[in-house]
């Protein structure tokens, strides 16, 4: 067998690779936990950070670090990915509500398009 052979043997897995590459284009060093946090917020837009912490079995420090990476400002005042915003929950100022930014919505739609195509993407993005 040719060691440089590049025949695709599984189209579905190739789509997952393309999803991964969307994040790699934004930041070559993006960890899987950051991607998981983004996917959680995209699928639970308007969720509390505590829900993300419990459902993804992350520590509070991990949630803070990962959501900072996804926000406008990353740790050490480095630019973040600007995919989510953190808002103070008006009913409990100790909690944060996590929402997609317009850029986050665009990335979410791009991921859905890669996985499901444009027609289904429209249905999935609107929940229809």
Q: State pLDDT tens for residues 11-33.
A: 999 999 999 999 999 999 999 99
Question: How many Cβ atoms are within 10 Å of 100's Cβ, its own excluded?
Answer: 19
Helices (H) and strands (E) in the chain, counts: 5, 3
Query: What are the tokens at 7?
Result: 């025949």
Decide if 5 is inside a domain.
no
- Provide the residue range defining the domain that includes 69: 11-118
Decide if 68 is inside a domain.
yes
- Count of structural domains within the chain: 1
Decide if 48 is inside a domain.
yes
Q: What is the mean pLDDT of the chain?
A: 90
- pTM for the complete prediction? 0.87
**How far apart are the C-alpha atoms of 26 and 110, rounded to whole Å?**
13
Q: Is 105 left (phi over 0), alpha (psi -120 to 50) or beta?
A: alpha
pLDDT for position 14:
92
**Distance from the first to the final alpha carbon of the chain:** 46
| Residues in contact with 86: Cβ distance below 8 Å, sequence separation at least 6, in sequence order | 49, 67, 71, 96, 97, 98
């Amino acid at each position: 067998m040719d060691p440089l052979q590049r025949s695709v043997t599984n189209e579905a897995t190739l789509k997952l690779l393309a999803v991964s590459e969307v994040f790699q284009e934004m930041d070559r060093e993006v960890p899987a936990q950051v991607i998981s946090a983004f996917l959680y917020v995209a699928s639970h837009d308007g969720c509390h950070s505590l829900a993300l912490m419990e459902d993804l079995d992350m520590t509070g420090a991990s949630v803070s670090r990962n959501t900072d990476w996804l926000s406008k400002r990353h740790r050490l005042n480095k630019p973040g990915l600007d995919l989510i915003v953190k808002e103070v929950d008006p009913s409990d100022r100790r909690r944060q509500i996590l929402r997609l930014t317009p850029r986050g919505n665009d990335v979410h739609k791009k991921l859905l398009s890669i996985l499901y195509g444009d027609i289904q993407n429209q249905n999935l993005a609107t929940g229809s």
